[in-house]
Amino acid sequence: MILIYNFFIRLYSWLIRFASMWNVKAKKWTGGRKNWKTSLSQNIHHEKPIIWIHAASLGEFEQGRPIIEKIKTNHPAYNILLTFFSPSGYEVRKNYNQADFVCYLPLDTKRNAGFFLDLVKPAKIIFIKYELWYHYINEASRRHIPVFVASAIFRPNQLFFRTYGKWYLNVLKSISHFFVQNNVSMNLLVSKGIEQATVTGDTRYDRVFENAQNVTENPIAAHFVKKYTTLIAGSTWPADEDLVIRYINEHPHVKLILAPHEIEANHIKSIEKKLMVPYTRYSQATNTNVHNYQVLIIDNIGMLSSLYQYASVAFIGGGFGKGIHNILEAVTFGLPVLFGPNYHKFQEAIELIDFGGAHAIRKYDELQRILDGYLDNTNHLNTQQLNNKSFIAKRTGATEIILKIMFN
């Protein structure tokens, strides 16, 4: 089975190199790993022991971020190496100032894993959520380097738990400790003989809770909202935007902050064509004129998490595609959240729906009914906002538990 695994790793490499001839993301993936041995040799240094933390992409980085920042504060005797698999994580966070080194993770081959660990010589390794690369874990185990998995979540249909996945499960048994999000994951591991696990929840709760306590104010957004009831739509795709824009076109008393996932000029123009109410782009707004508009289109990246403080209800995009984007950034401000039907792989969404603070919708009528229920009933809205803030606060603390076990 390891031969098959190695073949598919190589096949993936060949395919992505082929795709890089026309695909920008694939080109960044291959270009970022070019001459990685030389680059790592020149940039890594060992005046302090190194903790290597790996995240697949931006979402996993946000789960790892509280751990990184707590290590930098509480354990300054260590340097941090942060690696990414995806360009969408690396390109955004390659200059992250809490990490001492940031780079792409080389492809998971036995040779790469050996060379990488020879250069880095990590004292500890942390994989975030599900980035469980066979050769890196196996090689780390052979060298007696402790490996931890943070904010992990497991499902019965994953390769490790299939009858033909025992070879992979065996290498997972060498993991020093799993910090899992829920009891289902814990029980799966225990059923396979892996008892070095603790249910800690998701470290993202620590991150968003801290953000809400130290939120950056935005004067333009504040002037835009004033005393109006405001809906915010974050990380939206066209299918999400069609529903939200229809609602705003039909509800002139409600304002909308719209932050699309893609901010290319053509996409912004397509949004503007659908709007039948006054709108402006953030890049064109001023403190003195922004209050005249019903829709504020966010045509930049990086400020969405701080904009949730100005809204009453949130619609989070992605649920009509591969899956929803981050809902916790909105919920930490108490906002009830709505999203499309593809949410089942997101533990926080499942829990929040059961809690009553989130709603999955499939069509416009459902969106309208739920939004009207909140926006036309202040008492109902205020009660849910308080409940959602409590939902976040009760789930914080994972980072402290992880570091206590790691450095015990």
- The domain that holds 356 is classified in CATH as 3.40.50.2000
Tell me the torsion sign for CA atoms 310, 259, 150, 348: positive
Residues 147 and 231 both lie in one domain:
no
Do residues 283 and 385 share a domain? yes
Residue 33 and residue 56: Cα distance in Å, rounded? 15
Residue 95 lies in a domain: yes
Note the pLDDT tens digit of each residue in 301-331: 889 999 999 999 999 999 999 999 999 999 9
Residue 282 domain-assigned (yes or no): yes
Residue 2 pLDDT: 86
Tokens 């040799």 sit on residue: 41
How many independent structural domains does the chain possess? Answer: 2
Percent of the chain at pLDDT > 70 equals 100
10 Å Cβ neighbour count for 166? Answer: 12
If asked whether residues 170 and 225 sit together in one domain, one would say no
Q: Where are any strands of DSSP class E within 96-250?
A: 101-104, 122-128, 147-152, 177-180, 197-199, 229-236
> Residues near 111 by Cβ (< 8 Å), separated by ≥ 6?
none
Task: Evaluate whether residue 42 is within a structural domain.
Answer: yes
**By mean pLDDT, which of 187-191, 197-201, 213-217, 250-254 is the weakest?**
213-217
185 shares a domain with 73: yes
**How many Cβ atoms from other residues are within 10 Å of residue 155's Cβ?**
12
pLDDT at 59 > cutoff 90: no
- Residues 64 and 90 reside in one and the same domain: yes
Given 150, 166, 201, which residue is the final one in a domain? 201
Would you say residue 373 lies in a domain? yes
Q: Judging by DSSP bridges, how do beta strands 254-260 and 295-297 pair with one another?
A: parallel
Specify the pLDDT at position 88. 84
Any domain includes 402: no
The burial of 135, by beta-carbon neighbours within 10 Å (0-12 exposed, 13-18 middle, 19 or more buried), is given as buried
Quick one: 190 and 304 in the same domain?
Answer: no
Same domain (yes/no): 94, 237: no
149, 166, 201: which is the final residue of a domain? 201
Q: Among residues 201, 234, 257, which one ends one of the domains?
A: 201
Q: Is residue 329 part of a domain?
A: yes
Q: Are residues 187 and 256 in the same domain?
A: no
Residues 225 and 179 in one domain: no
In tens, the pLDDT along 21-50 reads: 999 888 998 998 988 999 999 999 999 999
Domain limits for position 54: 2-201
Beta bridge partners of 289: none
Do 103 and 39 meet the contact criterion of CB atoms below 8 Å apart?
A: yes
Q: Judge whether residue 151 has pLDDT over 90.
A: yes
CATH number at residue 53: 3.40.50.11720
User: How confident is the prediction for the chain on average, in pLDDT?
Assistant: 94
Residue 296 belongs to some domain of the structure:
yes
User: 12 pLDDT band (50/70/90 cuts)?
Assistant: confident
Residues 155 and 88 in one domain: yes
Do 48 and 181 belong to one domain? yes
Co-location of 317 and 375 in the same domain = yes
User: What angle is formed at CA 198 by the lines to CA 194 and CA 199, rounded to 5 degrees?
Assistant: 120
Is 319 within the bounds of a domain? yes
What's the pTM?
0.84
Check residue 211 and give its pLDDT. Answer: 87
Alpha helices (H) along 44-172? 58-74, 87-93, 110-120, 134-142, 166-172
**What is the Cα–Cα distance from 318 to 340, expressed in whole angstroms?**
7
